[in-house]
């Protein structure tokens, strides 16, 4: 039980369709995620991977099955499961500093104003955004916004960091930069992270395990891949690494041979 940090037990999600049978998005999902583990969930669009994340976050409830965090069943959203959304979701009327402060203030009301300021600044500095802390989200780049989103999520000391295609809306250079940020942060402050992605390289580079989802409807876990690569990882050096290449090929094989999907 000690290692059973985040547990998904026979999770199923159905959406009612008027006049027809329910649409089964995901079904029979069983998964155990350990503390400080980084797990990617990868699959074609429509495989219910975001649905799965929403159920872990509690923003959406499963139709049947159970999700436990530290032995406690999840019944709704809470700050122990912070989410980094694809569209950063910073409040545009607050500065970078105020966006993070709002979250810390709400989750840790016991902090003195000095402790509060120190904590907010610590997380701003963690994502190297010190010089931009008084800027509004409209004044900074997409990659910077996403870094603020990560800082805000981590600042409330969540048990699990949930990331819903966090770098999907960014160009590939910015994306690589943010992946490096995330790996660097993970070296500093250990976190349990679940990342939804459709990027094969991202999945291998970031994760300890890659969960591969079959296609919907009624999607479920197809295969689980262990990525046995030392950290810190260097994206350039890895290009020649046998383990990296093996993992990449395994995922590509799964996505494009076993569960290939026609573009709709």
Partner 1 sequence: MSKNDLLSRIILPLLTFIAIVALWAELSAYIENLPSPHDVWLAAFGGITPDGDVITGVLTDPFYINSDEDKGIFWQVLASLERVLAGFVLAIVVGVPLGLAIGMSKKVFYALNPYIQILKPVSPLAWLPLFLLIFQAINPTAIATIFITSIWPIISNTILGVQNVNKDYINVARILKFSPIEMVYQIMLPVAVPYIFTGMRLSLGIAWIVIVAAEMLTGGTGIGFWIWDEYNNLNYPNIIVGIIIVGIVGWILDTVMGKISDFFDYRKRGTAS
Q: Please, which residues bridge with residue 225 across strands?
A: 210
Q: Does 103 bind partner 1 (CB under 8 A)?
A: yes
Which CB atom, from 80 or from 243, has the smaller least distance to partner 1? 80
> Secondary structure of the chain: what % helix, strand, coil (to 5)?
40, 25, 40
Burial class (CB in 10 A: 0-12, 13-18, 19+), 63: middle
Which CB atom, from 196 or from 225, has the smaller least distance to partner 1? 196
Q: Does 78 bind partner 1 (CB under 8 A)?
A: yes
Distance CA 107, CA 101 (A): 10
Which CB atom, from 28 or from 77, has the smaller least distance to partner 1? 77
Q: Does 136 bind partner 1 (CB under 8 A)?
A: yes
Q: Does 109 bind partner 1 (CB under 8 A)?
A: no
Q: Does 139 bind partner 1 (CB under 8 A)?
A: yes
Piece of 17-25, 37-45, 70-78, 225-233 that binds partner 1 (CB under 8 A): 70-78
Task: Choose, by CB under 8 A, the member of 27, 57, 215, 220 that binds partner 1.
Answer: 57
Q: Does 142 bind partner 1 (CB under 8 A)?
A: no
CB of residue 77 to partner 1, shortest distance in Å: 4
CA angle 22, 28, 32 (to 5 degrees): 140
Tally Cβ neighbours within 10 Å of residue 243.
Answer: 14
Distance CA 246, CA 199 (A): 16
Which CB atom, from 10 or from 141, has the smaller least distance to partner 1? 141
Contacts of 183 (CB under 8 A, 6+ apart): 205, 206, 231, 232, 233
Q: Does 156 bind partner 1 (CB under 8 A)?
A: yes
CB of residue 59 to partner 1, shortest distance in Å: 5
Tokens of 44: 């074609």
Task: Count the site residues for partner 1 by CB under 8 A.
Answer: 25
Q: Does 260 bind partner 1 (CB under 8 A)?
A: no
Strands (E), 37-156: 38-42, 64-69, 72-73, 81-84
Q: Does 170 bind partner 1 (CB under 8 A)?
A: no
8 Å CB contact between 76 and 128: no
Tokens of 259: 């569960």
Residue owning tokens 């050096």? 237
Which CB atom, from 48 or from 158, has the smaller least distance to partner 1? 158
Which CB atom, from 119 or from 248, has the smaller least distance to partner 1? 119
Q: Please, which residues bridge with residue 262 across strands?
A: none
Could you list the residues that contact partner 1 (CB under 8 A)?
57, 59, 76-79, 81-83, 85, 87, 89, 91-93, 95, 102-103, 106-107, 135-136, 138-139, 156
């Amino acid at each position: 039980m000690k290692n059973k940090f985040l547990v998904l037990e026979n999770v199923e999600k159905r959406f009612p369709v008027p006049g027809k049978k329910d649409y089964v998005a995901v079904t029979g999902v069983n998964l155990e995620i350990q503390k400080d583990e980084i797990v990617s969930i990868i699959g074609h669009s429509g495989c219910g991977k975001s649905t799965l994340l929403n159920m872990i976050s509690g923003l959406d409830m499963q139709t049947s099955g159970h999700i436990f965090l530290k032995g406690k069943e999840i019944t709704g959203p809470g700050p122990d499961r912070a989410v980094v959304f694809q569209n950063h979701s910073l409040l545009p009327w607050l500065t970078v500093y105020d966006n993070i402060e709002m979250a810390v203030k709400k989750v840790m009301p016991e902090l003195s104003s000095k402790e509060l300021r120190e904590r907010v600044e610590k997380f701003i500095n963690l994502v190297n955004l010190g010089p931009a802390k008084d800027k509004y989200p409209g004044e900074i780049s997409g990659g910077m916004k996403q870094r603020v989103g990560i800082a805000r999520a981590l600042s409330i000391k969540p048990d699990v960091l949930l990331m819903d295609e966090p770098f999907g809306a960014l160009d590939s250079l910015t994306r690589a930069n943010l992946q490096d940020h995330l790996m660097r942060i993970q070296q500093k402050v250990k976190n349990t992270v679940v990342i939804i992605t459709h990027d094969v390289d991202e999945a291998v580079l970031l994760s300890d395990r890659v969960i591969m989802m079959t296609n919907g409807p009624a999607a479920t876990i197809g295969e689980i891949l262990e990525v046995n690569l030392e950290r810190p990882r260097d994206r350039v050096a890895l290009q020649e690494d046998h383990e990296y290449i093996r993992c990449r090929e395994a995922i590509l094989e799964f996505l494009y041979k076993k569960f290939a999907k026609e573009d709709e």
